[in-house]
Amino acid sequence: MLHRINKPLFLIAALLFGFKTYILYRFVFNLSIENPLQELILLINPFATALIIFTFAVWMKPERQKKFVKYTTLIGTIILYVNLAYYRNFTDFITLPTLLQFKNFGDLGASAAYLVKPGDIFLFLDIILVFYLAKKNENTIVSFKQKGKMAISALSLSILVANFVLAEIERPNLFLRSFDREYLVKNIGLFNYHIYDVVIHSKTKVQRVMADGSEIEEIEHYISENASSNEKSDLSGIAEGKNVIFITAESLQTFVLDKEVNGEPITPFLNKLIEESYYFENFYHQTNLGKTSDSEFITANSLYPLPNASVFFTHAQNEYNAMPKIIKEHGYTSAVFHGNNKSFWNRDVMYDALGFDHFFSERFYHVSEENKVGDWGLGDKSFFEQSIKYLENLPQPFYTNFITLTNHHPFTMDQKYASIDKLETNSRTLNGYVQTVRYMDEAIEQFFEQLKQAGLYEESIIVIAGDHYGISDYHNRAMGMFLEKDITPYDNVQLQRVPMIIHIPDHEETKTFDKIAGQVDLKPTILSLLGIEPEDDITFGTDLFTNDRKPYVAFRNGDFVTENYVFTNDTCYDRLTGEILEDTSGCDEYKDQVLLELEYSDRIIYGDLFRFYNFSDNEETNNDE
């Protein structure tokens, strides 16, 4: 029967490709549909895109038509599948800078393999059919006259334009929302989004060339009026001259604290430590595509991550006024400890830009089959144990960042290392997550004992913060089973809370704060504890221990949280109850300001604006070095 098909091959390929893309959008990607118009747009856009791409074949000679249709189907499917695997991990879509982060790919093998599903084979079936028809059925190769070519191209273009018009009606100023990839994919399709992403990426490269120092004054004024505090906290200077040990707890989310599996606490040490520390229970991560690297960037600079890339990769040559640079002027040595290779996330380059003195990467550690735990190499327990000798030899006072590794997607480990049962949900990722979290909890407890034995505990303050989510909303069904509730968009925001603990040995006062806070607040908070308060710094965060604080925590996609409200998916919720509010005035008050603040941070990074600024004397300079 197949050899009798006499429809044009390009049309068959376009319809098949459009159909499977729609199935992927509608039933695999977690794209929220809020009204009939969105449903219509989602139905049209995969076919509109497929038709406009495959229509190029009608302008080609028969043999070139065959090759074009076959390999376009193959390449398009590969792009779909790479996005699918990426989405399963991050609930997000790939950007051009992400693809250019090729140095990371070698370390992602185990995680990527875990994202492959048996049913994925169906994504490739149309390729087999198209290749078969191209070879066996000459009836599918049609030579069109000039008028026919023009008519087919015009029809395809008209469908695409109609898609864009409907998208703009449904979401005005859609193309100004480059930070919200789901809206773009949902309205214009994955492939058009990728083209748009390339254009935006190219535009950002031009911004640095065109930038000058005039924008700094405007940003300074904004920060002075909206994102700074003249209040001095009661804890200012309490850790003056002490070491700072910052532990970046990989993928640790707040929801596991005080939770149990079969009567066994998941984080027994952290639960106890919170009672002896300052703890912020409504502390949100603000990372984006850069994940851990974004967390490091935000913490060091009190700037926001980029909307479409990791700053560590795209802007590692910029000038920054990062925390390591500032504390160096006050006699501090700075170092990062991480059991991964030095080039992952371009750390070996970016750490120089941030002002770190030392980077103890994988090559400083002995990694063997005996101390590997999970899919990412050196286990956290061995990592901390081997780090002590380097820490003891650092000149004091020091600022150090220890980045853990074991609690990393796909959250798998040999059961001989597990000290708690797996969960029993429909998600292998969540089931294993509790075990790797428990292992990390034990490793941190062990590290505290090692610090005491080395005589460093009493001379230090210890900050522990989760860097980003571990369980994406792709696993909402399983998360609902564990938390015994249906997960709503409001809950998705609340699940972005990560632990933030400040432990000051021999400090009697402890407290759990319910105020909202975010990663942009870490830099001013740590500097204040050390008694370092630079007058000319440009940051978007404020000291967590002051009351005169910014009234919202902004996320990279334009969502935000205030003391009373959660704004996400264009919906305003009561922060304490999760109730959808008909009166949205509480959220409306901050929408524009959040977007403006994100824009100002982007301007600083894209334009490399700090190169025009002398932070030593708070005077602008015209140097461009």
Active site positions, annotated: 292
Sorted by sequence, the CB contacts under 8 Å of residue 567 that are 6+ apart come out as 559, 560, 561, 573, 587, 590, 591
CA 6 → CA 80, 136, 137, 155, distances in Å?
28, 12, 8, 21
* Helix 292-301 / helix 522-529 crossing angle, nearest 10 deg: 50
Specify the DSSP element, H or E, that contains 120.
none
Alpha helices in 137-267 (DSSP H): 146-170, 181-188, 190-210, 214-226
Of the chain, the end-to-end C-alpha distance in Å amounts to 69
- Give the pair of three-digit tokens for residue 286: 């603000």
Phi-psi region of 291 (alpha: psi -120 to 50; beta: other; left: phi over 0): left
Cα–Cα dist 267/481, whole Å: 20
Phi-psi region of 459 (alpha: psi -120 to 50; beta: other; left: phi over 0): alpha
Count Cβ neighbours within 10 Å for each residue of 474-495 and write b for 16 or more, e otherwise.
bbbebbebbeeeebbbbbbbbb
- Which strands sit side by side in the sheet containing 565-568, from one edge to the other? 552-554, 560-562, 565-568, 571-574
Q: Is 17 exposed, middle or buried (0-12, 13-18, 19+ CB in 10 A)?
A: buried
3 state SS of 363: helix
- In 3D, which of 359, 408, 367, 366 has the Cα closest to residue 249? 408
Q: Is 508 exposed, middle or buried (0-12, 13-18, 19+ CB in 10 A)?
A: exposed
- In 3D, which of 447, 149, 94, 402 has the Cα closest to residue 270? 447
